[in-house]
Amino acid sequence: MATFINLRNLLEHQIEDLYSAEEQIIEALPKMAEGATDRELKKALNTHLRITRDQKKRLDQIRKILKKNAGEESENSEGFLERIFGGGTKCKGMEGLIKEGNKVLDEEMESTAVKDAAIIAAAQKVEHYEISGYGTARAYAREVGLRDVEKLLAVTLKEEYTSDKMLNALALNKINLKAETSGGTKASAFTAARKQASKKSTSSTTATNRTAPRKTSGTKRSR
């Protein structure tokens, strides 16, 4: 019955979902890094692979804390959670994102810059999924008073934001332009104007790859 469920149960489910997501990312990132041509992009993806391995360890720590703190209520609602979330721990959302990303990687592309741009797009979708998941989980941990869990989740959330920001900068400052002008295509008027503007100012205020606002979870609130 629905009365079994509480925020603590949802937090546990979020952690399992994120654990599965990170495991899948660890498997997928080497192929993405291998497929990338741009040196900076390759390096960024390999660095993020190392970071992701640490994030998985952090989730292990969180699992231990949750287990230690687990009350009877949590055990009783296990069956209910299995039913509403379909059981198993594989994160289907991440599975889909990775599948889509792999499709792009398997595609024959004449221009390496176009492929790099596509890899960034796929990687940013993954980052945004994680930002959303970790943002929500952190808000839940705060709500139920698990400060140590909240702190661990905040560390990872910050890393995901940093990675997204780095991918964004790579796309905007280099790879999108390279992809645009690959195969001898002339840069658009927009690009020409952007280049002109960047000569006058170093700040990047033009359109971005990122569409999500910094605060992603509607469940967050400041205290």
Residues that bind Fe ion (CB under 5 A): 52, 55, 130, 160
Question: Rounded to the nearest whole angstrom, what is the least distance from the CB of residue 88 to Fe ion in the complex?
Answer: 20
Q: Is 98 exposed, middle or buried (0-12, 13-18, 19+ CB in 10 A)?
A: buried
Task: Specify whether the CB–CB gap between 105 and 123 falls below 8 A.
Answer: no
State which residue, 52 or 216, has the beta carbon closest to Fe ion.
52
3-state DSSP helix/strand/coil % of the chain, to nearest 5: 75, 0, 25
Closest CB to Fe ion: residue number: 55
CB of 26 to Fe ion, least distance (A): 9
20 or 74: CB nearest Fe ion: 20
Q: In the bound complex, what is the minimum distance in angstroms from residue 163's beta carbon to Fe ion?
A: 5
Distance CA 214, CA 211 (A): 9
CB-nearer residue toward Fe ion: 51 or 105: 51
Closest distance between Fe ion and the C-beta of residue 4, in Å? Answer: 30
3-state secondary structure of 212: coil
Residue among 210, 125, 213, 128 at smallest CA distance from 170:
210
- Compare residues 57 and 195 and give the one whose CB is closer to Fe ion: 57
